[in-house]
Chain A
Amino acid sequence: MFLIKCPNCGARSVTEFRYGGEYNPRPRDASARDWADYVYVRDNRFGEQLEWWYHRAGCQRWFLARRHTGTNDVVETRWPGGASGEGRRDESVEHPPDAT
C-alpha cells in the first residue's frame, strides 16, 4: 500500500486509486501491426515507466505518474498535457484559446 502523490489531493494510499495502465499513445493511421501492438502489446517494463492513474476515492481525476515497477517508487506525478506538452494532446481538434 505505497503512497501516490495526487497532483490535486497530495499523498494518498494506492488503494484510493485506479491504475490506468502504461502510457500508451493511440496511433493514427496505423498499420495493422502497429495497431495490434497498441491494442494488445504492453512493455511490461522493469524500471521506471510512465503510467495513468485515476484518483477514484478523491478528486476523480486522471493524471500521469512515473513509477518504478520494481520498487513502487513514484518518482513524479503530473497532469497530462502540462507545460512539457506530453500527454495525448490531439492537434486535430480545434481548441478555443481559453481551452488549452
Chain B
Amino acid sequence: MQPEQRTPSRHEIEFTFDGQRYVGYAGDTIAAALYRAGVRVFSRSFKYHRPRGLLCLDGSCPNCLVNVDGTPNVRSCTSALQPGADVRSQNAWPSLDRDALAVVDRLEWLLPVGFYYKRFIRPRRLWPVYESVLRNIAGLGVINPDPDAFDEAIYDKQYRHAQVAVVGGGPAGLAAAVAAAESGGEVTLVDENPALGGHWRYQNRQLGDGTTEGPDVNQLIGRVESHARITVLREAVAFGWYADNLLGIQQGNRLIKLRCEQLVVATGRIEQPLVFRNNDLPGVFLSTGVQRLVNCHGIRPGRRALVVTTGDYGWTVARDLLSQGVDVAMVADARPEPKHPGLDQVGRAGVPSLPGHTIQSADGDHVVQGATLVRIGPHGAPVPGTEIELNCDIIALATGFVANNSLLYQSGCVIEYDAEVDDFVPTQCPPGVLAAGHAAATDGLEAVVLDGQVAGLEAALSLPDIDGQDLQHVIAERHRQLHEARERLRPAQSVRPLVSTASAGKRFVCYCEDVTEKDVRVAIGEGFDDVETLKRYTTVGMGPCQGKMCSMNAVRLCARETGRTVAATGRTTSRPPFRPVKLGVLAGRKLEPVRRTPLHYEHVALGAKMMDAGQWKRPEHYGDPATEVRTVRSNVGIIDVSTLGKIDVRGPDVVAFLDRMYTGRFGDLEIGQLHYGVMCTDEGIVLDDGVVGRIADDHYYLTTTSGGIDAVYQWLTWWLAGWQMAVHVVNVTADFAAINVAGPRARDLMGRLTDLDLSTSAFPYMEFREGSVADVCARLLRIGFVGELSYELHFPAEYGVHVWRRLLTAGADLGVAPFGVEAQRILRLEKKHIIIGQDTDALSDPLGAGLAWSVKDNGADFIGQPSLARTRKRGPIEQLVGFQMLDASVVPGEGEQIVSDGQIIGRVSSARYSPTLDRSIGIGWVEVDRSHEGAVLQIKTAGEIAYATVVVDPFYDPRGRRLRE
C-alpha cells in the first residue's frame, strides 16, 4: 500500500454540498470527503425516491451520482475533489433528507413493474396531464439549458496505435504489460484509476517486514512505469470495443481511439450485492467499497459492522475493519463450516461469527441501525424462526463477484457459464483478443499474475519480429505454473452462492431503476421469462450502471423462477459504452479545415467581408456589391477565382476520355480553344460544369466549380480506373491562383501588363493564350461568366499577391476595383448564367436546365447519354427559366415556391435586384407549359403572392456582343 493512500495529505480543500460548506483533503474523492464529514445519504432513488448511500465506491453503481459545478450525474466516488466545487444532490426536493416524492415509496401498488404499459393510459384524454406530471418526475439529473452556463471545456480527440493494448492496471494487466514489453512489444496500458494496482491497492496484505503477501505488485508497478516500451493511460476508461481491435477510451474530456494488434482484457471483476429487504439502506456496502474507504482513504466507515460473506474473503474484510478500530459485531458466513486462516485471527480479536447464516434484512430509518440474520436451510431458503437481530451501523456484503468481461463480449468472445466458478467465462476469443485475471474468472493473486504473464507473452508471440521459439518455451512453463497455482488455490475459494433471502418488504435487484425481486417475479409470471425480454420489460440493467450491480442477480433469479440452469438462462448482450460517456466527449470539437486563397490577406486588407464557400473563405463584397456591379459593367473589375477547380489531363486516350465524360465534343477543339463543358451522371443528372481548353493534341486543361473539384476529380479517376484508359489526371487547383479581369476596359488594363496581342482577331472569345502577365508566366482564358469582355488569369499561386497588386495599380486610372462573390452572382444572373448546385439539384437534367446546346446528339456514347436520349424523346418535365418581377422592389427568396391555383408548380433557384437594369430578376424551375416568354408566374414571397413574367433570353446583353467584342 502506498503510504499516501492510507493517510491523505492534510492539505485542506473547501467545497459545498447542497449549499453547505464542507472540508475535505487533497487526494480525496468527492464521496470520500463527504463520507468522512458524516454525509450518509448521497442521492434519492430513481422511482421510489428512497435515500441511497455509498455502495460500491468503484464507479459502478448509481448511488453516489451528484451534480458537480453544473454537470449532472457525476460519479462522486471516482471524481477527485476540486477546491471550491459546488456539489449538489439529485432527484430530491426540497432536500435529500426530506424528499417530497418519497411518498412514491408507499404508492408501490400504483406503479407495478411495467406500469407505463398499464397505468396512466386511460382515459386517453387525460394523457397530456399524466404526461406533463410524469415528465417532470422522470429522468435523472438536470441540465441547465442556459447557453451561458454551458461547459466551456475543450473536448478533443486523439488517435493512438499500439502493438499490444492492455486494459486494466491491476495485477493481471501489469503482469501482461511487463511480459509483452519485455518480449519486445510496444504496449499501451489503459487504467481507469489515478494509480496503478487495481484491487491490490485496497486488498494487499502487509507483512511484519513491510513487504506484502504473495507476488510483489509494487515491483510490477515500478517495472511498468519505468519501461520504455510501455505507455500508461491513467484515469482512462476503455468504454467500448469496435471492429478490428479499436478501443474507444474516455480520458477526461478527451476521446481516444486506440487501435491495437493485440488486446489483453484484464478488467477485473465487479462485486455483486445480495438481494434482501432494505438492501439499499445507506450503510449497506459492498465489501470492496468498505475496503476502499478503509485502505485507500483512511476512513473509519462506522462504529459497529456486520460482515456478510459467502466465502473466505469476507474474513479479510473483517480484519481490515478491525485495523481501523471498527467493532465487528458479527461475521455471518453462509457456509455451514467456514475454514479460513484469517478466521483465527479475527476470532482472537473477539469477533463472533455465525456459520450457515446470512442477512434477511437491513433495519433502520434512513440509515442502517441494525440487521436481521437468518439461518439458511439445506436448499438455500431461510429457516423461519431462526431470525437474530443485531445492532450495527454498517453492513459489508462479501457475497461474490462477476467477471468484468464486457469488452470481451463486445469483441466477439464466446462466453459460457462455468458452474465450478459460478460465473460466465470466456472459452474462445477471436484472433488478437486475450483475457487475463479476474476478467477471465481466474482467482487468487498468484494465479492472476501468472495468467497476466501468459496473456502478455501470447500477445507478444503474434507480433512481427519476435522470436517465437524462445517465447513458446516460456509460455509453456508459465502455463504449467498457472495450472499448479490454480490447483493449489482452489480449496480456499469455496463459496456458497446466494442470490436472495425471502422476506416482506422491498428487495432491490436493480438500484438504478428501482426494480425489486417482486417486480422480476411478476414479470416472469407475465411471460417475460427470457433474460432479454425480462430486461426490456422490467428495465433491470437499463439504468446508469448498465447491469453492473444487477445483471447477474437478474439472471440467477430468472433461472430460479423458471427452473432452468444459469447456463441455459444465459446473459443479455453487452454493448458499448461500458461506463457512461459524456456526450461532449463523443461530439468533440468541430474541426473543419479552412482553406484560404493566395489572395486572402489582400481581401482582408481591402476591408472585404469574408464568407464561407465550402471549406474556402471568399470575399462576399468590399462594401457595396451594387457599386462593384457598376464597376464591372462600366469600367473593369477583378475578382479572385482561385477557388475554381483546375485539372490537368493528358495522355494518348485523352480525347476519347473527355468525349465520354462530358456531354459536349472536345476532339475537334483546336489547340488554344476553349469550350463550355457539362458533366452528367449516368442517371442523366448534371454533375458539374466548367471550361475545357486544349493545350496540345494529348493535353487538356479543365476547370470545375469551386465546390465540385473533389467530386469531379474522384469521378474522373473512378471511370479511368475502370476503363484503364491511358490518361493521367492531376488536380492542380492549389497550384494556380486565378483572377478574372472583367469589364469594357479589361483589354486596356491587360494591355499594360502583357505583350500578348489582345485584339479580338488575334485572341477571340472562348480561346486562351499563354504568356507573361506582370512578368509572371500565365494562362489567359477569354471567357465571360459575368457577361463582359474578360480575361481569367491562371498563374502559379506564389505570385497571387504580386499580380493582384499590379492589376490594381496599373488600372487605377481606368477605375479598376475588386469585386466579390455577391457582385459576381448578380452579374451572372443578369446574363442568366446558371450555377451548378445553386440552380440545379439532384433531379436536374441538362435539357431542362437550358443546356441542350451543350449536349451532343450524334449517337456517340457518353456518361449519361442513354438516359438523356430517353429524356430528349420524352421532353423535359421542368424547365429552368428566367423571370422578372412586376414589382422591382420585391425579391423572392431562393427556394420559394412558384404556385398556380394553390398547387406548387416550381421553385425559385436564384433571385436578385439588378442594379444594372433596375429590375428584380431571377431564375427558377417551372413546369414546361409555363416556360414560354411572357408566361405569368405567381411566386410566394414571404407568404404573399408576387407576380413575375418569364423572360427567355438573358436579361442583359441578350446577343452576347459585349463579351465577344
Contact = CB atoms under 8 A, between A and B. Distances in A.
B244 A61 contact: no
Interface size class of A (residues with CB under 8 A): 35 or more
A9 interface: no
B870 A90 contact: no
Contacts of B725: 90, 93, 95, 99
Contact of A90 (B717, B718, B724, B867): B724
A63 B259 CA distance: 24
A26 interface: yes
A25 B722 CA distance: 9
B714 A1 contact: no
Contacts of B714: 18, 54, 56, 62
A96 B721 contact: no
A17 to B, nearest CB: 11
Given A3-B244, A35-B866, A62-B721, A26 B682 contact: yes
B683 interface: yes
B246 A1 contact: yes
B-side interface mostly: mixed
Contact of B724 (A28, A81, A96): A81
B242 A80 contact: no
Contacts of B713: 60
Q: Which one of B257, B651, B722, B726 has the highest number of Cβ atoms from chain A below 10 Å of its Cβ?
A: B722
Interface string B716-748: 011001111110000000000000000000000
Contacts of A80: 721-722, 724
Interface residues of B, number: 26
B728 to A, nearest CB: 10
B656 A93 contact: yes
A52 B718 contact: yes
Contact of B682 (A1, A32, A39, A89): A39
A90 B246 CA distance: 40
B243 interface: yes
A39 B683 contact: yes
B653 A54 contact: no
B623 interface: no
Nearest to B720: A62
Given A1-B243, A1-B257, A61 B717 contact: yes
Nearest to A28: B861
B347 interface: no
B652 interface: yes
A32 B717 CA distance: 27
A47 interface: no
Contact of A88 (B722, B861, B866): B722
Given A62-B718, A87-B721, A1 B242 contact: yes
Interface in A23-39: 25-26, 28, 30, 32, 35, 38-39
B870 A32 contact: yes
A19 to B, nearest CB: 12
Interface string B847-890: 00000000000000100001100100000000000000000000
B721 A61 contact: yes
A28 B683 CA distance: 15
B463 to A, nearest CB: 15
A13 B259 contact: yes
A89 B867 contact: no
Contacts of A100: 724
A65 to B, nearest CB: 13
B721 A1 contact: no
A72 interface: yes
A2 B652 CA distance: 39
A20 interface: yes
B721 A93 contact: no
Contact of A39 (B243, B717, B726, B867): B867
Contact of A96 (B244, B652, B682, B717): B652
Nearest to B863: A26
Interface in B774-807: none
B870 to A, nearest CB: 7
A79 B722 CA distance: 10
A2 B682 CA distance: 31
A62 B720 CA distance: 9
Contacts of A39: 682-683, 867
Contacts of B683: 39-40
Contacts of B653: 93-95, 99
27 contacts: A1-B257, A3-B243, A3-B259, A26-B682, A30-B866, A38-B682, A39-B682, A39-B867, A54-B714, A56-B714, A61-B717, A61-B721, A72-B243, A79-B721, A80-B722, A80-B724, A87-B721, A87-B722, A88-B721, A88-B723, A88-B724, A90-B724, A90-B725, A95-B653, A99-B651, A99-B653, A99-B726
Interface of A: 1-3, 13, 18, 20, 25-26, 28, 30, 32, 35, 38-40, 52, 54, 56, 60-63, 72, 79-81, 87-90, 93-96, 99-100
Given A99-B653, A99-B726, 11 more contacts: A2-B243, A3-B243, A13-B246, A25-B722, A28-B861, A30-B866, A80-B724, A81-B724, A94-B653, A99-B724, A100-B724
Give the top 9 A-B pairs by smallest Cβ distance, nearest first. Answer: A88-B722, A99-B726, A2-B243, A62-B721, A81-B724, A3-B244, A89-B724, A90-B723, A2-B244
